[in-house]
């Protein structure tokens, strides 16, 4: 709800995610990526509602689960979260070490005398420096807070990991190291939903890519196809890649529409370089792309 109006932040989002697979969810700010992650863990604001189903491998429906079930058996144990705003998820009056030790004690069968070593091992996995473990969250830079939150998320070795912008605030070397650590968890058999603006990080570790625009998934593609040849099917997805400095470095014109004032047809039509009369109707997502012209030849590639 916003101003007494109902606004659909995410609509008809449908995808699967297998063990041992990384799905990168990409798109501009405000398209609904983080709202989707929050819904999966029951972390939406009190005035928000969710519908549909989000099933774990054991049949647990995350959207139907109550707070008691989510808190006691899901968060951290079956679904780990690297939050978008790590400072808000760290306890301000406790050091990073004490928070890591608590997570190790709660989520793993580590003997009490090994808690210190367990916390230091978790910090190492996220490239968090050992000499900063006894600092409080307010004493950390944004990048260090991000790495502390990543360390906490990795401790439980949950079968499903949601990483919401896990490389924010990190330099390129640490982005690569964080991405590689996340990929290692995938290669060990876990599922990873990585929400990111960083297409380079997505290209480094993703098996598939899902593109979200104006609250809807508009394309899902194999990462090799998406980042290589023949490339994305949806014009918005192509625009994201073309905006990269190593590509055309050409921004997508215009701005995304307001979620509370979406057009009747294709939400991307006003920014697309080849709209036509068909775009006045909402395109159906066929499992690959939600575009009336997704399977036509791209004239820019002719």
E strands within 16-168? 22-26, 79-82, 160-164
Ranges of residues in the chain with a pLDDT under 50 are 299-302
Q: Which two tokens stand for residue 154?
A: 């990795």
Write down the pLDDT at residue 89: 86
The DSSP result for 221-287, as a single string, is: EEHHHHHSSS--SSHHHHHHHHTSTTTT--PPSS-PPPGGG--SS-TTGGG-SS--GGGGSPPPP-S
Task: Give residue 302's pLDDT.
Answer: 37
Q: What is the per-residue pLDDT for 86?
A: 87
For the stretch 25-59, pLDDT in tens is 999 998 999 999 999 999 999 889 999 999 999 99
The string of DSSP codes covering 124-158 is HHTT--GGGTTS-GGGS-HHHHHHHHHHHHHHT--
CA distance 202 to 37: 17
- Spell out the residues 6+ positions from residue 203 whose beta carbon is closer than 8 angstroms to its own: 223, 227
Please list, in sequence order, all residues whose beta carbon lies within 8 angstroms of the beta carbon of residue 223, skipping any fewer than 6 positions away: 24, 202, 203, 206, 207, 208, 209
Domain map (residue ranges) of the chain: 22-213, 229-301
Look at residue 4 in the predicted model and tell me its pLDDT: 66
Q: How many whole angstroms separate alpha carbon 5 and alpha carbon 264?
A: 18
Lookup: tokens for 63? 């959207």
pLDDT score recorded for residue 253 = 95
Give the pTM: 0.92
Domain 22-213 CATH class label:
alpha beta
């Amino acid at each position: 709800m916003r101003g007494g109006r109902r606004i659909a932040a995410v609509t008809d989002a449908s995808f699967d995610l297998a063990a041992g697979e990384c799905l990168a969810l990409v798109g501009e700010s405000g398209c609904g990526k983080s709202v989707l992650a929050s819904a999966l863990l029951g972390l939406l604001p009190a005035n928000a509602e969710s519908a549909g189903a989000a099933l774990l491998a054991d049949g647990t429906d995350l959207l139907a689960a109550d707070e008691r079930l989510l808190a006691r058996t899901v968060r951290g144990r079956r679904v780990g979260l690297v939050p978008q705003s790590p400072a808000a998820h760290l306890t301000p009056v406790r050091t990073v070490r004490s928070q890591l030790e608590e997570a190790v004690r709660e989520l793993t069968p580590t003997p009490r005398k090994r808690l210190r070593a367990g916390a230091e091992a978790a910090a190492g996995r996220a490239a968090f420096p050992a000499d900063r473990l006894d600092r409080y969250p307010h004493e950390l830079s944004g990048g260090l807070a991000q790495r502390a939150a990543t360390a906490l998320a990795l401790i439980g070795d949950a079968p499903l990991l949601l990483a919401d912008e896990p490389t924010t605030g990190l330099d390129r070397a640490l982005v690569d190291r964080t991405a590689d650590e996340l990929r290692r968890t995938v290669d060990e058999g876990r599922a990873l939903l990585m929400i990111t603006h960083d297409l380079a990080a997505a290209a480094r570790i993703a098996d598939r890519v899902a593109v979200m625009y104006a609250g809807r998934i508009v394309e899902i593609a194999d990462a090799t196809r998406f980042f290589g040849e023949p490339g994305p099917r949806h014009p918005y997805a192509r625009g994201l890649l073309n905006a990269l400095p190593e590509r055309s470095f050409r921004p997508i014109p215009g701005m995304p529409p307001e979620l509370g004032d979406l057009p009747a047809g294709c939400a991307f039509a006003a920014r697309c370089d080849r709209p036509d009369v068909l775009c006045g109707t909402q395109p159906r997502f066929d499992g690959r792309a939600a575009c009336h012209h997704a399977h036509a030849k791209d004239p820019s590639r002719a």
